Amino acid sequence: ETGVTQSPTHLIKTRGQQVTLRCSSQSGHNTVSWYQQALGQGPQFIFQYYREEENGRGNFPPRFSGLQFPNYSSELNVNALELDDSALYLCASSLSGTIYEQYFGPGTRLTVT
């Protein structure tokens, strides 16, 4: 059974640029959630996808968008990057109905300069 993987591990972007982060769900999981973890804080919910549809969204602006593919892998896209977007981005997969037992990937560390 393959765990949750994320790519890239680290990324450096310039303010105003766009970035795409990728996540492969654990085998058999049809739900993926994305979180932003700023330094010294806990993960903050960005949004969730279930069967390729956005299924819930936290308090993040529309320049944060996502996709889920038929194989349940997922992307997080951030447009017009700001310095405050520098953070660890975590994705977590789960089975619908067992959302509490999420399995997290190791995260992508994004630095915006």
Partner 1 sequence: DQQVKQNSPSLSVQEGRISILNCDYTNSMFDYFLWYKKYPAEGPTFLISISSIKDKNEDGRFTVFLNKSAKHLSLHIVPSQPGDSAVYFCAASAPGGWDDMRFGAGTRLTVKP
Which residues make up the interface to partner 1 (CB under 8 A)?
A: 4, 33, 35, 40-45, 48, 55-56, 58, 90, 92, 99-107
Question: To the nearest whole angstrom, how small is the minimum distance from the Cβ of residue 18 to partner 1?
Answer: 24
Nearer to partner 1, 38 or 80 (CB): 38
Tell me the residue ranges of DSSP E strands in 25-102.
Answer: 31-37, 44-50, 53-57, 64-68, 74-78, 87-94
Query: Do 81 and 64 touch, CB atoms closer than 8 A?
Result: no
- Smallest separation, CB 64 to partner 1 (Å): 15
Q: Which is nearer to partner 1, 40 or 70 (CB)?
A: 40
CA distance 95 to 83: 34
Minimum Å gap between C-beta 16 and partner 1 is 29
Shortest Cβ distance from residue 17 to partner 1 (Å)? 25
Using CA atoms, how far apart are residues 106 and 53, in angstroms rounded to an integer? 24
Q: Which is nearer to partner 1, 42 or 70 (CB)?
A: 42
Report the relative pairing of strands 108-112 and 10-13 from DSSP bridges.
Answer: parallel
